[in-house]
A and B are shown apart, each in its own frame.
Chain A
Amino acid sequence: MKFAFQLGSKIALNPDFVVERAGRYFLLNETLVKVARKDFYYAGAYLGKVKNGKFFPSFNLLAMLAKGEANKIVVEKKAAWLFICGRDIFRKGILAVRGSRKKGDHVLVLNEFGECLGFGKIMGSLDETSGKTEVAVRNISDIGDFLRREA
């Protein structure tokens, strides 16, 4: 999975259980594979969709990646809330960094409880000594999307 590699993850999904329906990808299991009709609307764990050749991960997939080895930042309460509201992350809001610090790499954004809130792109230095008011991680996707979808 190219997307997972971009996040520094080595997750391996059984291709026999990954099913595509109209550009949307789902991870099924042995039981679901037996029961699912060919025309299902949704099944198992939603992984994401491909639109115009670009992959948009689901929050299920991001949460799965966050459980293992991957590029991650842990952010404090206020930064977490702003991120869910669609905002970028400043260096001063970052509590911890795991994995890549390289500019341009993708990184999962976790709250202080270790729960995945979405992911972003590293824009500047994640180093503690760097400018604290610079955008460190640009928001690409966050769980506030569930509310935006309903609007």
Chain B
Amino acid sequence: MSGKEFFVDRYRQLGWEFDDAQPRQAIRINVTNTKGKNIEERLRAIGIQLEKIPFLETGYWVRTSKVSAGATAEYLIGLYSIQEAAAQIPAILFSDLKGKTVLDACAAPGGKTVQLADLMGNTGVIVALDVKKRRLAALSNHLERCHVGNTIVNHLDARQASRLKLKFDRILLDAPCSGNFAADNNWFKRRSLVDIERNAKLQKAILTEAEACLRGNGEIIYSTCSLEPEENEVNMDWAVKHLNLHIEEVDCHGTKGLTKVFGSRLDVSVERCRRIWPGETQGFFVCKLKKLVNK
């Protein structure tokens, strides 16, 4: 149960006709570092033309570029980050973040950690975890480059987050996932249903731990760059049925979450999730979960 034909047929059953996607390069302005600076004008002066991404407040497509967007002085000073457009969505779905205690459960390489710090205006605290130590160097470089000052990085498996003995107001769970073909040319050759089921199991374990570390009324943003419902809607259906969580409405780019998956009916609230099929962006899935106080 693998191969392009197998997956394309699955997507058809889910209501999407396969189309070779060409995700566009995108950047995100670090607002905290650009106060009083006209970053668009500065980049234009060095040959980078930007185009506002309609569904993101601080996101821009790189329309044309005479230089590498990842090697400008403006980038190295931390005025902006290179961040795929769909990947900019999860962090903006949280309610107020200023002064909060936030867990970034699977943080490396740190694009979303820096975005959270920016949205928090460097207030409060972010505890960023990653299970792979070699990925922490990239995360740390990203934090240093963007002058983030409110983050603590720990080498820890998100499934052991309760060892921190902290309760969090907000948890970003950008879960390890199977990815999607738009971000990986060999995706169809490398992936099978077995991988997807293994990842779905891991994601449930991380979700369970995240819920245990979350304060009452706290929020989890769950996201993946997988198109497979087992890692997305099916997991969210499981979460509302087995954990003390419910799904909140979100107002963002994407289509409604699927509530009918390969013949199975899911909880109606799963419709509140957002699914982004590949196109100008890579494929993505987001869901906002809130912890119930009394259940």
Query: Interface on A for B, CB 8 Å cutoff?
Result: 27, 29, 31-32, 35-37, 39-46, 58-60, 63, 80-81, 84, 111, 113, 115, 117, 143-144, 146-147, 149-150
Interfacial residues of chain B within 119-158, with CB under 8 A of chain A in the complex: 124-125, 127, 133, 136-141, 143-145, 147, 149-155
Q: Tell me the minimal C-beta distance from B227 to chain A in angstroms.
A: 29
Cβ B164 vs Cβ A60 within 8 A: no
Query: In the bound complex, how far is the Cα of B32 from the Cα of A63, in angstroms?
Result: 14
Residue of B nearest to A34 (CB): B125
Q: Kindly state whether residue B73 has any CB partner on chain A within 8 Å.
A: yes
Query: In the bound complex, how far is the Cα of B73 from the Cα of A29, in angstroms?
Result: 29
CB < 8 Å neighbour of A32 from B42, B137, B139, B152: B152
Query: Interface on B for A, CB 8 Å cutoff?
Result: 37, 42, 70-71, 73, 76-77, 101, 124-125, 127, 133, 136-141, 143-145, 147, 149-155, 164, 166
Known A-B contacts A42-B136, A63-B147, A143-B73; A37 and B164 likewise in contact (beta carbons under 8 Å): yes
Known A-B contacts A41-B153, A42-B153, A46-B140; A84 and B166 likewise in contact (beta carbons under 8 Å): no
Residues of chain B with a CB closer than 8 A to A80's CB: 73
Cβ A43 vs Cβ B151 within 8 A: yes
Cβ A144 vs Cβ B76 within 8 A: yes
Query: In the bound complex, how far is the Cα of B232 from the Cα of A15, in angstroms?
Result: 47
Residues of chain A with a CB closer than 8 A to B153's CB: 40-43
Cβ A41 vs Cβ B77 within 8 A: no
Cβ A146 vs Cβ B76 within 8 A: yes
Cβ B152 vs Cβ A43 within 8 A: yes
Cβ B139 vs Cβ A42 within 8 A: yes
The main secondary structure of chain A at its interface with chain B is mixed
Query: In the bound complex, how far is the Cα of B37 from the Cα of A67, in angstroms?
Result: 16
Residue of B nearest to A31 (CB): B125
Known A-B contacts A35-B166, A113-B37; A44 and B145 likewise in contact (beta carbons under 8 Å): no
CB < 8 Å neighbour of A117 from B73, B137, B143: B73
Residue of B nearest to A147 (CB): B71
Cβ B152 vs Cβ A143 within 8 A: no
Query: In the bound complex, how far is the Cα of B137 from the Cα of A31, in angstroms?
Result: 23
Q: Tell me the minimal C-beta distance from B69 to chain A in angstroms.
A: 12
Cβ B145 vs Cβ A46 within 8 A: no
Cβ B152 vs Cβ A44 within 8 A: yes
Q: Tell me the minimal C-beta distance from B101 to chain A in angstroms.
A: 7
Cβ B152 vs Cβ A84 within 8 A: no
Query: In the bound complex, how far is the Cα of B120 from the Cα of A32, in angstroms?
Result: 14
Query: In the bound complex, how far is the Cα of B42 from the Cα of A147, in angstroms?
Result: 20
Known A-B contacts A35-B101, A35-B152, A40-B152; A146 and B145 likewise in contact (beta carbons under 8 Å): yes
Query: In the bound complex, how far is the Cα of B147 from the Cα of A29, in angstroms?
Result: 14
Q: Tell me the minimal C-beta distance from A67 to chain B in angstroms.
A: 11
Given A41-B153, A42-B151, 18 other A-B contacts at CB below 8 A?
Answer: A31-B150, A35-B125, A36-B152, A39-B154, A40-B152, A40-B154, A41-B155, A42-B140, A43-B151, A43-B152, A45-B149, A46-B143, A59-B145, A113-B37, A143-B73, A144-B76, A150-B138, A150-B141
* Interface CB pairs A-B, < 8 A, 25: A27-B149, A29-B150, A31-B150, A35-B125, A36-B152, A39-B155, A41-B140, A41-B154, A42-B139, A42-B140, A44-B149, A46-B140, A59-B145, A60-B147, A63-B147, A81-B73, A84-B76, A115-B73, A115-B77, A143-B73, A144-B76, A147-B71, A149-B137, A149-B141, A150-B141
Cβ A146 vs Cβ B154 within 8 A: no
Q: Tell me the minimal C-beta distance from A25 to chain B in angstroms.
A: 12
Query: In the bound complex, how far is the Cα of B139 from the Cα of A59, in angstroms?
Result: 15
Residues of chain B with a CB closer than 8 A to A115's CB: 73, 77
Q: Which of A45, A58, A63 has the most CB of B within 10 A?
A: A45
Known A-B contacts A41-B136, A147-B76; A58 and B152 likewise in contact (beta carbons under 8 Å): no
Query: In the bound complex, how far is the Cα of B278 from the Cα of A79, in angstroms?
Result: 42
Q: Tell me the minimal C-beta distance from B107 to chain A in angstroms.
A: 11
Known A-B contacts A32-B125, A59-B145, A149-B141; A42 and B73 likewise in contact (beta carbons under 8 Å): no
Cβ A37 vs Cβ B147 within 8 A: no
